[in-house]
Amino acid sequence: MINSIILFMNLLVFTTFSRADWPETSTWAKTERYGHEHKTVLQFYFHEISIGESSTIALIAQAQPIDPNDVFPFGNLYMADEFLTVGPEANSTLIGRAQGFSGSASQEGVNSFMGLCYSFANGVYNGSSFNILGRNSILNPIRELPVVGGTGIFRMARGYAMAQTYDFNVTSGVVIVGYNVTLIHP
């Protein structure tokens, strides 16, 4: 009986501290203790291709009437499957994907409303994800975006992302955005 209580307590200790390898540092993310919780800071690049056969977005709905001169008409809704990499180069290590929708949500100006799941397939973060849901004023050099929940290591995450356009090539339709994300999670 005593033995099984001791075993049980050991199990409890083991479960509580099974993440004793924190701080976990990879080239693009770092998790460390933060009071009774953990804090992960991630830095990665998002690649979108809007033109051509390897396009990462698909127009799935459009409002009428369509103004051919408007490049981002109000009501356009896109489904996206984008690449996340360590660095800004096209051949940089792929660490995950951002999947979800993005729509043109401003009658004046350029604002998108997006709901994207950022899921990772690299290192200890493999299988973990977080979601961003909010307005993205894509022409602003730096945008703050809210993180609303996650899975895996990021289960019950709260936090925010600072997104900064790194490159936008109008000819190739390639947009590269740098992300700095701060997450607080159990």
Ligand X SMILES: *[C@@H]1O[C@H](CO)[C@@H](O)[C@H](O)[C@H]1NC(C)=O
DSSP per-residue letters across 106-168: -SSS--EEEEEEEEE-SGGGTT-EEEEEEEE-TTSSEEEEEEEEEEGGGTT-EEEEEEEEEEE
**Is residue 137 a contact point for ligand X (CB under 6 A)?**
no
Burial 81-91 (b: 16+ CB within 10 A, else e): ebbbbbbeeee
**Is residue 146 a contact point for ligand X (CB under 6 A)?**
no
Site for ligand X in 69-128 (CB under 6 A): 89, 91, 121-122, 126-127
Work out how close the CB of 108 gets to ligand X at its nearest, in angstroms, rounded to a whole number: 25
Element (H, E) at 15: helix 2-16
**Is residue 58 a contact point for ligand X (CB under 6 A)?**
no
Q: For residues 56 and 15, give the distance between their C-alpha atoms in angstroms, rounded to a whole number.
A: 40
Work out how close the CB of 133 gets to ligand X at its nearest, in angstroms, rounded to a whole number: 19
**Is residue 164 a contact point for ligand X (CB under 6 A)?**
yes
Whose Cβ is closer to ligand X: residue 3's or residue 171's?
171
**Is residue 15 a contact point for ligand X (CB under 6 A)?**
no
- In this chain, which of 27, 106, 140, 169 binds ligand X, going by CB under 6 A? 169
49, two tokens: 């291709």
Binding-site size, ligand X (CB under 6 A)? 14
Q: Give the closest residue to 152 by CA, choosing from 178, 101, 186.
A: 186
Whose Cβ is closer to ligand X: residue 12's or residue 170's?
170
Q: Summarize as ranges the residues that interact with ligand X (CB under 6 A).
A: 43, 89, 91, 121-122, 126-127, 142, 162, 164, 169, 171-172, 180
